[in-house]
Amino acid sequence: MTDPYKVLNIAPTASDDEVKHAYRELARKYHPDNYHDNPLADLAQEKMKEINEAYEQIQKQRKAGAAYTASSSAQSYSYGDAAYSNASANPVMQRVRMAINNGDISMAERLLNETQEHDAEWNFLMGVVCSRRGWMDDAKRCLETACRMDPGNVEYRQALQMLQNTASYRPAGYHRGGTMTYDDTCMRLCAGLACYSTTGCPIFCCI
């Protein structure tokens, strides 16, 4: 079994608080919210399992002697893509939902492209397919259309909310905003060596 301290990236001499802090930081990093509709969700889930096991093991070791009760301080998270199992009146859309749930995105896309009528459900499912492929702008466009066509539908609204969820992990000390809210007054990029100017002529830097 791998060293639990190595998994949490701390020294075996770390205090209880440090262990907890390291665990929480990693749990934040691999949180399912960061991997929604992400093809790497299964790998994040594996990481989270490793971290949970390491944390439990350290707790167990530290409480050895005292009666140990399996503490549930390590949280369990649910990963994986949302299930699109709502029944559909349209048999083709039902097949699309099944294809999405089986992870067969190209099949779902083919079925959608063959459909003539683009109703709210079609837009919703197309949005889900786009989101799985990383086509975020098209996904947003389709889900917005679905919500506009059927404003009362909870499933469509939730999918749009999930897409607009901007949760993401950043280590302490990094800003939390996005591109448009970035404070660029303090931004300094590492410039190049500028060994070659744009015309391609070498610049002699150290003569």
Partner 1 sequence: MFGYVRPAAQHLDEAERQRFRSAYCGLCHTLGRRYGFFARWLLNFDFTLLAVLLSLGTPTTSRCQRCVAHPCRGCDAMNASPALDAAADRSVVLAWWQLQDHIADHGVWKSIPYRLAALLYRGAYRKARALVPDFDAAVQRHLRELDERERARCASLDAAAEPFAALLSEIASAEPDETRRRIFAQLFYHLGRWIYLIDAADDFKADAKSGNYNPLRCRYEIEGDTLPDEVKSALGETLDASIRQMAGAYALLNAGEWTAVLDSIFYDSLYGIGKAVLSGVYRKQKRRIRRTKEEPI
> At which residue do the structure tokens 């996904």 appear?
139
Report the alpha-carbon distance of residue 31 to residue 25 in Å, rounded.
Answer: 10
Pick from 97, 73, 77, 80: which is nearest to 43 by CA?
80
- Contacts of residue 96, Cβ cutoff 8 Å, sequence gap at least 6: 108, 111, 112, 125
Work out which of 67, 70, 89, 189 binds partner 1, going by CB under 8 A.
189
Q: Which is nearer to partner 1, 16 or 46 (CB)?
A: 46
173 binds partner 1 (CB under 8 A): yes
202 binds partner 1 (CB under 8 A): yes
Structure tokens at 189: 């990029």
68 binds partner 1 (CB under 8 A): no
191 binds partner 1 (CB under 8 A): yes
Terminal C-alpha separation, the chain = 56
Q: Provide the 3-class DSSP secondary structure of residue 95.
A: helix
**Which range touches partner 1 (CB under 8 A), out of 74-82, 94-102, 154-162, 167-175?**
167-175
Work out which of 63, 134, 148, 158 binds partner 1, going by CB under 8 A.
134
Structure tokens at 54: 């390491």
Q: Which is nearer to partner 1, 38 or 101 (CB)?
A: 38
Binding mask 20-59 for partner 1 (x = CB under 8 A): ---------xx---xx--xxx--xx--x------------
**Which range touches partner 1 (CB under 8 A), out of 56-64, 67-75, 118-126, 171-179?**
171-179
Helix 16-29 crosses helix 41-62 at what angle (to 10 degrees)?
Answer: 170
